[in-house]
A and B are shown apart, each in its own frame.
Chain A
Amino acid sequence: MSGGVDSSTVAAMLRAEGHNVIGLTMQLWNQRRLAGHEGMPESVQGRCCSLDDVYDARRVAEHIGIPYYVVNHEERFERDVVRPFVREYLSGRTPIPCSLCNNHLKFDQLLVVAQQIGADSVATGHYARVEYDPGVGRWLLKRPADESKDQTYFLFGLTQEQLSRTIFPLGGMTKPEVRELARTHGLALAEKPDSQEICFVPGGDYKRFLDAYLAEQGGALPDTAGELVTTSGEVIGEHNGIHNFTVGQRKGLGVATGSPLYVIQINGRDKQVVVGGAENLYSCTLRTRRVNLVAVDELREPLRVGVKIRHRHAPAAAMIERISSDDGDDEILVTFDEPQRAITPGQAAVFYDGEVVVGGGWIA
């Protein structure tokens, strides 16, 4: 229970259906920890893990009459989500902390806690559906009824074991229906706005977060400044650090040319930011690492699927096939029918067969 509308409504729904419901909030990050560091706000409010949200969740639990507990997983969150987030940016990739949190915290640690306290399943307010397919003998992850709220992109990493003990009660509902249900259950937070940003990055300014976090760790942002080069290798300027860039970015390049320039590629090893025209942003292939397959146990032959390369992206038609990488790890090669714009290393590529999530991996 995050203290938001979705998870609160889930708790109220399940309770009304007669389930034995236990409310849990994961305390993952101390929002006051970096307060006061250079560039960080003095105080923060209304974000995940803030005292306000814990207060809201507790009030809901009390209102619907369920026991409620806060479990502290700050150490694990820092190790498995925050540090990789920082590392990825400093290597020129654009990370998705929410997926890491789902894989390592919400559907791992939380499931362990659930088992320990004698609960059969964990229910969350994610917009997605889980179904068992007796034909293939696998748990399927499917897109929700409300496509605008679809969170399957962040959930592709769930294992069969995790899916088998997960319930997504909002999978068949739209957000307005959820708010309406929240009102019906008399939840005071029915009108609470949705949270959009990364929960531990106040104001969404990840650059300031990197600075403050590294300063707190007794380090400083390593110097990742370097050259700005064109796709043909011509050096046309300098940049102030690769973590300031993301593929597809147009603003803030610091060079003036006749036609618009975009970040095409970030070369972490050489600290180079490669820029070029819009046409250079398009590519037909990508490779994914650390693949998790959901609907099938193995990819024995090439498969036609739709592939999402970022959260707000309509699945694009593609062929996926297993390949062996240089280090022997299994990778999946994605070949799109049409070139795709701004394929960004560090983001996920998630494969869909209609509404079913086939699997996904991290863009190399």
Chain B
Amino acid sequence: MLSPELGHYALALACVLAGVQGILPLIGAQRRNARLMALAPGLAVGQLIALVCAFACLINAAVTDDFSVQNVAANSAVSKPLLYKITGVWGNHEGSILLWALILSLCGAAVAAFGRSLPTALRARVIAVLGLVATGFELFCLTTSDPFARVWPAPMDGRGMNPLLQDPGLAFHPPVLYTGYVGFAVPFAFAIAALIEGRVDAAWGRWVRPWAVAAWCFLTCGIAMGSWWSYYVLGWGGYWFWDPVENASLIPWLTGTALIHSAIVVEKREALKIWTVLLAIGTFSFSLSGTFLVRSGILNSVHAFANDPARGVFILGLLGVVIGGSLALFAYRAPSLTAGGLFAPLSREGALVLNNILLCSICAVVLTGTMYPPFMSLLFDRTISVGKPFFDATTIPLALPLFIFMGFGPMLPWKRAQLWPVLQKLWLAACVSGIAVVVATIRLSGVLPVLCAAAAVWIIGSSITDIATRTKLFRTSFANSVHRARMLPRAIIGTAIAHAGVGITVLGLAAMSQAQHRIVEVPIGTTEHLAGYDWTLTNVTQEPGPNYTAMAATLEVRRHGQLVTVMHPSKRSFNSQNQTTTDVAIHTNLMADLYGVLGDRHGPDSNPTYVLRLHYNPLAPWMWLGALVMAFGGALSLSDRRVRVGAPQRARSSTATVSVS
């Protein structure tokens, strides 16, 4: 029943519904026609249902091995495990665009479902803008990358998936990352709606922020998952390569982080309105451009999608309409938006402005580094590669002040602040950071890692201090403190947790600068010493897998003669793709990763030698753990009563509620 033709029809239907969703509510909002505006939620849900149907058809084709569908024939095979048949649907260009459209329609339906408290005209416009963007993507899908195209004659077996993608981490990385990317379509739609209405106020800031935070949480998780995947699948021992595609996800994350902070100022103080609107447009624009760059072949990257300039031209046109159109609207309407509340440079607003300046500077640096090679190639016909030294040298000096101001920003009062009282509260965190400098100087080499480690401790310390101050920890009874903590708005706890997450990640990054590794070529029975561990290669065996054969090593790791772990790094040869992948063995105790990679086999069969790569990665898990903590903090602030109820919470008098309960 779920035939590819039905899927194709459902996709076309979704495209038409999205087009109607994009036009009628806009006209309705302009003419104050309640009936046209009321169409918006229904159309958004209808589009979602159609796309779910289309997606189900594609999954069905992949699961039932329908190799007459070109996409399935090109990316799947009978021998592929079921999980990867399903997840392989979005592991290729056509399927991932369909997933993209599905998530976009999900955003539209979410605004329809959760946006009941919005003014009717605003909700109609937001849904309409989402519909217009969706129309573009669905047209792209239908015209240049049809996932349901058939082939004749149908092959007996598919060509199989890239074995690197046959991994649970990567199976769920794209949906999470795309939800982050696409989620920023909602703040974008809010920005466009506000520009059409010509009004940005505190209420707008309050509505837009949860959507931005939700998208930000997904993007954070998505980036972390991608980084983790490259760490344990690619087997290079690295976690971030400043690859253009990685940067393409980092850039919207940076502007998105700026957005969730500047939206606070709009909500609380009605300032930074134009800037916030621009950030909302910019973040989604960067998300879109990232997709375009990855798929056009303009950038050199390890993430190779099938490159097709014709597709590139279509996406560029789509980008021109979406980004160009929204920025033209911005140029036309933004000058008439009125400026809001005034504030002193030293205040919560001031700290948030500084946060925005620094985040956007880092973003500009990353953008420059990413776009420099193709632009140099275009303008001056010179080939240049920009790598880690550039990014390290430029981003860290900008990130350090950001980390330092992150510490006291949340403790500054609005409008006008005095530095001294805040510093008094933070003396303990400052002392701990001072100790951290000493400890880091002993343990770490290099100035930047030491400074980063100290900054990380400072962030974590000040986040704890913030909560401790607000709950009067140790200044009143413990029960009272717990009660106060429960009465704190979740947004404040969420902020502290997310900031602490940044600290955890930065600590991991600083420690990873001290990672040690060694490449050796050894016969069986050799022991190598690295980072205080003795690594012994005891055996290498051949093992068959479902669609590959593996050469697996047994690596015993000892410390002071005591067995720590037995690791089994292996190397898989995939028959159908004539490709090999390395299966890294990682042993972690959360403070450090022992990381072993088995390389090639050399020498005669009687006495072969094996290439081994051994890594000692201190605090490596903290990098991704920190990202999860950040996302958890964001999610916690989403569960704030203010967001759930949609009404500002009245200020509580702090002592009146403290009672024996």
A associates with B: no
B residues contacting A by CB (< 8 A) are none
